[in-house]
Amino acid sequence: MNSDTDGDGLQDAYEPQVGTDPTNPDTDGDGLWDAHECQIGTDPSSRDTDWDGLWDGHEVKKGDRDEFYTGTDPLMWDTDGDGVSDFEEDADGDHLANGREWRYDVATGWMTRWTLPRTADSDGDGVLDGHETYGNPENGNQTSDPRLRDTDGDRLTDDLDPRTWIKDYLPFSRVMGNSVVRGPVYPSLVTRGVPFTVEGWVEINTTAYSGGHTGNWRRAFESMMVQVLVIQDDVLIPISDPIATGDRGAFTITCTIGDDVGTGDGLLAVTTTHHQKVVYLPV
């Protein structure tokens, strides 16, 4: 009588011959069932048959979960023969090596974190997974969670939020200025599709907050990028292109309300590349 106790496709009597456990469908825990490994030629008792640093289950395509796998050859240390191991290859060009798209608990072997090895921006927030994991030198090496579009839950996606890990942080910069909009954005004051101007300047706090002290503010001599957005129904909607500040932090931005802004109240906000997002303060 044939028996397959673990239902992995291999008969119990055959499993000892290939070094597998008849009570465990995936003896080596690499994500591939024992019978499947025997069929494709990988070692069912070794998580990494070709010793390239990637588990066999991460290299083999898996139907509708194909996006989670590298598509490299589990029998070859260097699938494309370029001298770089499959582990260190960067299949999606996100500056995060294939083998670093997953993280495991050393004690349990359970996956604790993952990104998509063939998708450069796993969470679709506009920031490459590698830049979110290790930081981008061109943006102060700020890191964020590559699985979350809004790491700190402040309703500003990570590509727009220069302080992606900080929620409700007292801003290190603030914006002052004038525009045709004073306070909320009303359809009677701003017409959809008709450009209007926001003028102002950025100020920098040169001291830390402590107690009731609100800091010492000065005009920003450093050039930085600023962008105007509308906050409406807890959604941040850009209404201008980013531009660089000029002399002493001054800026003039042309804004246009598009169809993605609904009829009703809204609040103007400005983001700066070096510091926290700030609410625009008309004077």
Note the pLDDT of residue 251: 84
Take residue 211 and report the two structure tokens written for it: 């107690």
Asked if residue 135 is part of any domain, the answer here is: no
Take residue 124 and report the two structure tokens written for it: 């679709």
pLDDT digits (tens, 9 = 90+) for 76-105: 887 778 787 877 888 788 788 877 777 766
- Domain end position, chosen among 32, 67, 89: 89
Q: What pLDDT band is residue 68 in, cutting at 50, 70 and 90?
A: low
pLDDT tops 80 at residue 154? no
pLDDT tops 60 at residue 147? yes
**Higher model confidence: residue 246 or residue 159?**
246
Give the structural domain span for 193. Answer: 173-282
Asked if residue 236 is part of any domain, the answer here is: yes
pLDDT tops 80 at residue 207? no
Q: What pLDDT band is residue 50 in, cutting at 50, 70 and 90?
A: confident
Note the pLDDT of residue 23: 92
Note the pLDDT of residue 283: 33
Per-residue pLDDT, averaged over 123-132, amounts to 81
Asked if residue 63 is part of any domain, the answer here is: yes
- Domain end position, chosen among 89, 111, 139: 89
pLDDT tops 70 at residue 205? no
Q: In the chain, what percentage of residues exceed pLDDT 70? A: 65
Q: What are phi and psi of 126, to 5 degrees?
A: 90, 0
Per-residue pLDDT, averaged over 239-247, amounts to 85
- Domain end position, chosen among 61, 89, 117: 89
Measured CA to CA, the distance from residue 29 to residue 177 in angstroms comes to 60
Name the residue among 200, 166, 165 with its Cα closest to residue 281: 200
Take residue 234 and report the two structure tokens written for it: 């807890």
Reported pTM: 0.45
**Mean pLDDT of all residues in the chain?**
72
Q: Are 177 and 274 contained in the same domain?
A: yes
Q: Are 178 and 276 contained in the same domain?
A: yes
Note the pLDDT of residue 156: 63
Asked if residue 202 is part of any domain, the answer here is: yes
Per-residue pLDDT, averaged over 142-146, amounts to 76
Per-residue pLDDT, averaged over 202-214, amounts to 57
Burial of 95 from C-beta contacts in 10 A (0-12 / 13-18 / 19+): middle
Give the β-pairing of 250-255 and 196-205. Answer: antiparallel
Asked if residue 128 is part of any domain, the answer here is: no
pLDDT tops 50 at residue 186? no
pLDDT tops 70 at residue 229? yes
Name the residue among 139, 137, 119, 138 with its Cα closest to residue 129: 119
Per-residue pLDDT, averaged over 177-190, amounts to 42
Total tally of structural domains belonging to the chain = 2
Note the pLDDT of residue 95: 81
Asked if residue 269 is part of any domain, the answer here is: yes
**Higher model confidence: residue 162 or residue 56?**
56
Contact 229, 239 (CB under 8 A): yes
Q: Report the CATH number that the domain containing residue 234 is assigned in CATH.
A: 2.60.40
Per-residue pLDDT, averaged over 120-149, amounts to 76
